[in-house]
Amino acid sequence: MFVAPDGDHFRVRLTHSLEVAQIARTMARALGLNEDLTEAIALAHDIGHPPFGHAGEEALAAAVADAGGFDHNAQTLRVLTRLETPYPSFDGLNLTWETLEGLAKHNGPVGDPSWALREADAEIGLDLAGWPSLEAQVAAVADDVAYDNHDIDDGLRAGLIDFDELIEQPLVAEGWRAVTARYPDAPRERLVPELIREQIGRMVGDVLEETRARVGRCRPESAAEVRALGRALAGFSPAMEAGERALKAYMYARFYHNPLQKEVAAKVGRIVSGLVAAYRDDATLLPERWRARLPQDDPERARHIADFIAGMTDRYAIARYREAIGQVTMPEGF
């Protein structure tokens, strides 16, 4: 949620992905699933994100809309099968079909795939309309558990979430009652991390119980049968799902759509769209390695430029904007 954070303790994509992988692997072990596959999907699920997170993605998608747009999930497949080329005999990282399939549709069937996912599907055969493996489903739920709770931690640290208002949210209130009952004399600064830990534990426990119940009712005997069920097996119970949705609604209202965050989103949108326009107008601004492989015609030309920008970090994008276009000032602390 924070752009090139000058505070060292806010989450970034890397730390988020590590936290998702930790939660996902724990659940996979408890359910007797393939831990390595679950962890691989969790670690790579956000690797296609451009700089500046979702705000950067929206700006990049709009800037190359005439070339088919941009989608970070599809870009993950593009990175792992085409753009990363560390080996001389083939493109990509030589990942298993199960890993790529899980990354393509860990959030469920893809009914309207982007051009990049259609290309990957044509090459690999991902059955985009079908359900993914149970490992991929677990990785997706772990993503929700991780960011629901760690965004609370970051929001409180940044002063964008009011603590007293937060603990009135039903899902959080239950956890707060539990930790204050266990540690009635502990100061708040010691109880907040315990609250996050408590809430992660309760959500993970709920997923395990609900998933076991669903599996018990369906009794699939293979990954193929899991995919053929036509619905998710891994997920929250109805009660937890309702609480989690209410918490998300609160976080959107108070954190994700906070006026300060909107101000930053507008700034980074100008950076990303400005870079796209600059590189499309003047290819000499691209590094030689990227310029040498620049296609002559659109949409491939615009997509190549989007690949370059999508691989940037926040700080690198800001530096390239200043180099190619001019000065930009980011709000302090973001």
- Please report whether residue 32 resides in a domain: no
The reported pLDDT for the residue numbered 1 is 62
- Please report whether residue 225 resides in a domain: yes
Residue range of the domain that includes 148: 134-259
Q: Are 146 and 23 within 8 A, CB to CB?
A: yes
Residue 22 pLDDT grade (very low, low, confident, very high; cuts 50, 70, 90):
very high
- Please report whether residue 228 resides in a domain: yes
Name residue 258's amino acid: N
- Please report whether residue 331 resides in a domain: no
* Those residues with Cβ within 8 angstroms of residue 222's Cβ, 6 or more apart along the chain or in another chain: none
Express each pLDDT in 144-162 by its tens digit. 999 999 989 888 988 889 9
Q: Label residues 120-156 b or e (16+ Cβ within 10 Å = b).
A: bbeeeebebebbbbbbbbbbbbbbbbbbbbbbbbbbb
* Those residues with Cβ within 8 angstroms of residue 138's Cβ, 6 or more apart along the chain or in another chain: 24, 27, 28, 31, 33, 38, 207, 211, 234
Domains in the chain: how many in total? 1
Q: Are 106 and 41 within 8 A, CB to CB?
A: yes
- Please report whether residue 160 resides in a domain: yes
Of 184 and 332, more confident: 184
Name residue 261's amino acid: Q
What mean pLDDT is reported for the chain?
A: 93
Residue 6 pLDDT grade (very low, low, confident, very high; cuts 50, 70, 90):
low
Rounded CA separation 46/36 (Å)? 17
CA distances to 45, 178, 283 from 137, rounded to whole Å, are: 12, 29, 41
Q: Are 110 and 128 within 8 A, CB to CB?
A: yes
* Those residues with Cβ within 8 angstroms of residue 324's Cβ, 6 or more apart along the chain or in another chain: 274, 275, 278, 279, 285
Express each pLDDT in 187-241 by its tens digit. 999 999 999 999 999 999 999 999 999 999 999 999 999 999 999 999 999 999 9
Quick count: other Cβ atoms within 10 Å of Cβ 223?
Answer: 17
Rounded CA separation 198/86 (Å)? 42
- Please report whether residue 50 resides in a domain: no
Percent of the chain with pLDDT over 90: 83
pLDDT reading at 334 higher than 60? no
CA distances to 286, 310, 327 from 324, rounded to whole Å, are: 10, 17, 9
The reported pLDDT for the residue numbered 155 is 87
pTM score > 0.95 for this model? no
- Please report whether residue 187 resides in a domain: yes
- Please report whether residue 302 resides in a domain: no
